[in-house]
Amino acid sequence: MHLPISDKIELNILHQNSHQAEKNKVKFNNYNLLCLNIMSSPGAGKTRLLEITLEDLSKEFQSAVLEGDMTTNLDAARLEKLNIPVVPITTGRACHLDANMVSGGLKLLEKKINPNILDILLVENVGNLVCPAEFEIGEHFKVALLSITEGEDKPLKYPIMFREADLILITKVDLLPHLNFDINELKSNIASTNPKADVIEISSITKSGFDLWQKWISKKILKFKK
Amino acid sequence: MHEIDMTKCLILSMEEWAEKKNKEKIVVEKINLKIGEFTCVEPISLINTFNSAVLGSWLDSSEITIETIPFEGKCSKCNSSYFPKKENGYKSPCCNFNLEEIISGRELKIASINFKEK
């Protein structure tokens, strides 16, 4: 046996995932397809958000969805009713989507439709405020949802998720009159964690804030396609 | 649970590294990681998951060491560095400014690998 050798490599542990995420992004760019990674805890309203958003968005843009779910295709089935291409990705034991899963989902999408005709790909991640934040999928922007029933402190408790997000949607704001919830405290906690993030308050019941959210998406798509 | 996927990525990176070294002719003794405090990784969970995952494999005798990298931010008002605290909303203690720039704490790295040639 020879003497011990130390090899300094300074390599990102997640570099395999990052490498695949880069490949996904190149594909999205070649298709001229904007990709959003939609993340939140379970029950914050991701699927309902997509249902309402896609109904309006499809008047102007061609959309598709990759739908991450640990065990079922229930959310994918809801979105398929909107007559847009939806690919379910069942993650099994994994509590987040990774770049390889999204690459697989994209291959299935390519069999359904020519992605060149699409403007936007919405990827609904698995409901979780921890893991999805660390695993890039090749997205152009990260959107995090936080429902007011989750509490004002969540940006401080799950800082990586909210730090990484480009846009934070505060959902279920129609419930504000019924809850002992301080939305200013939540906004202050968001600003503490990520002062650069855009923040929009929305309600899937009253549809308040959806105009701003749709404008945010449209602006991103048009800028991307320039 | 994400430590399982982190471990998977770590082992894949080790496989890739070993391919360049001629895997059959080396014994890995230590994998030295740098993990930032501002990541989703719990060091003990990562070590335990790794130890279970490599049982009976070519990495069975290897050991993980973890250097924790402190979470450090920079105050965008006065430029001084500080250690952000959750209790203080990550604000700078000097000027009470929100955390804009992170200097360190997001590291998830294999810093070095100690090995012997057979």
Distance (Å) from the C-alpha of residue B34 to the closest C-alpha of chain A? Answer: 9
Whether the per-residue pLDDT at A2 is higher than 90: the answer is no
Which residues from chain B sit within 8 angstroms of residue A17, using beta carbons? 9
pLDDT tens digits, B2-34: 788 889 999 999 999 999 888 888 999 999 999
Q: Do B110 and A14 touch (CB under 8 A)?
A: no
Residues of A in contact with B10 (CB under 8 A): 13
Q: Measuring CA to CA, which residue among B35, B99, A94, A104 is closest to residue B10?
A: B35
Compute the half-sphere exposure of residue A47: CA atoms within 13 Å on the CB side of its CA: 19
Tens digit of pLDDT for each residue in A166-188? 999 999 999 999 999 999 999 99
Predicted ipTM beyond 0.85: yes
pTM: 0.92
- Find the mean pLDDT for residues A162-169: 97
Percent of chain A whose predicted confidence (pLDDT) is above 70: 99
Q: What pLDDT digit, counting tens, does each position of A197-222 carry? A: 999 999 999 999 999 999 999 999 99
Q: How do residues B75-108 score in pLDDT, each as one tens digit?
A: 999 999 999 998 889 999 999 999 999 999 999 9
Average pLDDT over residues A158-165: 95
Q: What is each CA distance from A140 to A25, A35, A159, A220, B21, in whole angstroms?
A: 8, 5, 20, 9, 36
Give the pLDDT of residue B1: 61
Amino acid at A223: K
Report chain B residues whose CB lies below 8 A from the CB of A185. none
What local confidence, expressed as pLDDT, does residue A112 receive?
A: 95
What is the band of A72 on the pLDDT scale with cuts at 50, 70, 90?
Answer: confident
Q: At what angle are helices B2-21 and A15-30 packed, to 10 degrees?
A: 100
- Kindly tell me if the per-residue pLDDT of A1 is higher than 80: no
CA dist A113 and A96 (Å) reads 25
Nearest to A134 among B29, B40, B91 (CB): B40
pLDDT digits (tens, 9 = 90+) for B42-81: 999 999 999 999 999 999 999 999 999 999 999 999 999 9
- Give A67 or B118, the one with higher predicted confidence: A67
Say what the pLDDT of residue A195 is.
94
Spatial distance between the Cα atoms of B46 and A223, rounded to a whole number of angstroms? 41
Q: Is A45 left (phi over 0), alpha (psi -120 to 50) or beta?
A: left
pLDDT in tens, A53-65: 999 998 999 999 9
Is the pLDDT confidence value at A193 over 80?
yes
| pLDDT at residue A180, rounded to an integer | 94
For residue B9, the distance in angstroms to the closest alpha carbon of chain A comes to 6
| Residues of chain B contacting A, Cβ within 8 Å | 1-2, 4-6, 9-10, 12-13, 16-17, 21, 27, 29, 33, 38-41, 86, 89-91, 98-100, 108-118
